Amino acid sequence: MRYVSTRGQAPVLDFEGVLLAGLAADGGLYVPESWPQLSAADWRAMRGLSYAEIAFRVVKPFVGGCIPDADLQRMINEAYATFGHRAVVPLRQTGANDWVLELFHGPTLAFKDVALQLLGRLFDWALARSGKRATIVGATSGDTGSAAIEGCRGRANLDIFIMFPQGRVSEVQRRQMTTVADANVHAIALDGTFDDAQAMVKALFNDAAFRERAGLTAVNSINWARVMAQIVYYVTASLSLGGPDRTPAFCVPTGNFGDIFAGYAAAKMGLPVAKLIVATNRNDILARFFAGGEYRKDGVTPTISPSMDIQVASNFERLLFDMHGRDGAQIRGLMTELDTAGGFTVSPNALAETKHLFAAGRADEAATKAMLKTAFAQGNGIAVDPHTAVGLAVAAQQRSSRAVPAEIPLVTLATADPAKFPDAVEAATGQHPALPPRLADLFDRPERQTKLPNDYTVVRDFIENQRVTA
């Protein structure tokens, strides 16, 4: 499999290349040159297989011979053995033809584990093969940092430095980053905001000499391998519900458009999908886009579903690319307009291209809180997290408008364990959600973090001195 950039001016790479590159050299995102096609018989042949066996079959065409089968299957097995449920991503029925797909049984209790448990292993494998070391740096407002740390802890060929804004992440989120004892893990509490942390990461990457010396790399959501790993649960959910002979719709709590783009990839591979529903909170740039074709920045308002508080959705560029006939020049134009004019409008033809598959809706704070309460009552005391509540609220809108008719199974993706957002859940339900047993002692574990000022030289020197050199 070969990968091309959405902006059409970066080298064509194989899987190993895009894995290690992350962002393309022209500022674009890598996508497969063509979508692998699986037939109804191929999907049917996966019925009854384990999650790890299905993952191997789905992922293999994208890896395209870069990794020997035995190594690939071993890494997949190890990645999903870290999950606390035998089904890895179980479906729970919540209504006559409604389900939630629980993606949060991984080590850090959010769906990002599905991709990052595999990504850490793929990285380590690729580095070992080329005899290189890498230094991963990232900024986090919460969920991504801990999932990246868990995916990379103890790996032989990489160091990971995660910066979070000191005092501005929840206690559970902070402890998930600071209680990991492995020597290659470094949690940095930066004296600043999330934007400062992100600007710091950017500055480190822009320092060409340092980037080269440290083998700097990123695991943020634009890495193709993350999207690839997420395709798998659309397949397992569909098969559990009778696919490919029955066609479900999926409602996805959306921030950077990575999770739902994986659903799009599944559909492009031939998996029957009735609808992909983009669910946003009041930061609704994507819901506005699907309503009228205009993509326009509008500031960010903090919500109780913080992982969806975005100004622009980084992975959306991948869909724009397909909407514009895979013409990199048009995407370069649109992205320039986004930077200089704050937004753009696509042609009616391009919008029509997405309308048969995508729908969108938003849930404001009041609707989210109401759904936290309703879901708890209807689930007989099983709570959902605020991100999932946004998804369920939009799913309910789609049902009541009959945009998704009753005979279509509707699967809402549950992206985090309610115990990750205890305050919002308790405020709505009156019940404090407990951490699962394997994390029950999180508040007793010793913390290890380094507090650093928002000063470029200090941060760079810290990374330089702490990383293990080859």
Query: Residue 134 and residue 214: Cα distance in Å, rounded?
Result: 7
Which helix (H) or strand (E) segment holds residue 334: the answer is: helix 328-341
Whichever of 231 and 459 has its CB closer to ligand PLP, that residue is: 231
Q: CB–CB of 167/429 below 8 Å?
A: no
Which segments of 325-373 are extended strands (E)?
343-345, 358-362
Closest to 211 (Cα-Cα) out of 30, 451, 25, 66: 25
Least gap, CB of 143 to ligand PLP (angstroms): 4
Q: CB–CB of 403/396 below 8 Å?
A: no
- 98-102/410-414 β-pairing: parallel
Q: Answer yes or no: 268 catalytic.
A: no
Which helix (H) or strand (E) segment holds residue 224: the answer is: helix 224-240
Least gap, CB of 412 to ligand PLP (angstroms): 12
- 294-296/343-345 β-pairing: antiparallel
Reduce the DSSP state of residue 102 to 3 states and report it. Answer: strand
Query: Residue 272 and residue 265: Cα distance in Å, rounded?
Result: 11
Least gap, CB of 258 to ligand PLP (angstroms): 3
Q: CB–CB of 395/412 below 8 Å?
A: yes
Which segments of 192-261 are extended strands (E)?
216-217, 249-253
Least gap, CB of 263 to ligand PLP (angstroms): 10
Catalytically annotated residue among 60, 112, 202, 297: 112
Residues that bind ligand PLP (CB under 6 A): 110, 112, 143, 221, 253-259, 307-308, 387, 415-416
Written as one letter, the residue type at 199 is A
Least gap, CB of 416 to ligand PLP (angstroms): 4
Maximum Cα–Cα distance for the chain, whole Å?
60
Tokens read off for 245: 């002979």
Query: Residue 456 and residue 193: Cα distance in Å, rounded?
Result: 14
Angle at alpha carbon of residue 334, lines to 333 and 339, rounded to 5°: 100
Whichever of 98 and 259 has its CB closer to ligand PLP, that residue is: 259
Least gap, CB of 349 to ligand PLP (angstroms): 26
Q: CB–CB of 411/249 below 8 Å?
A: yes
DSSP type of residue 310: -
Tokens read off for 257: 């458009």
Least gap, CB of 30 to ligand PLP (angstroms): 16
Whichever of 149 and 416 has its CB closer to ligand PLP, that residue is: 416
Query: Residue 436 and residue 430: Cα distance in Å, rounded?
Result: 19
Whichever of 155 and 318 has its CB closer to ligand PLP, that residue is: 318
Catalytic residues: 112
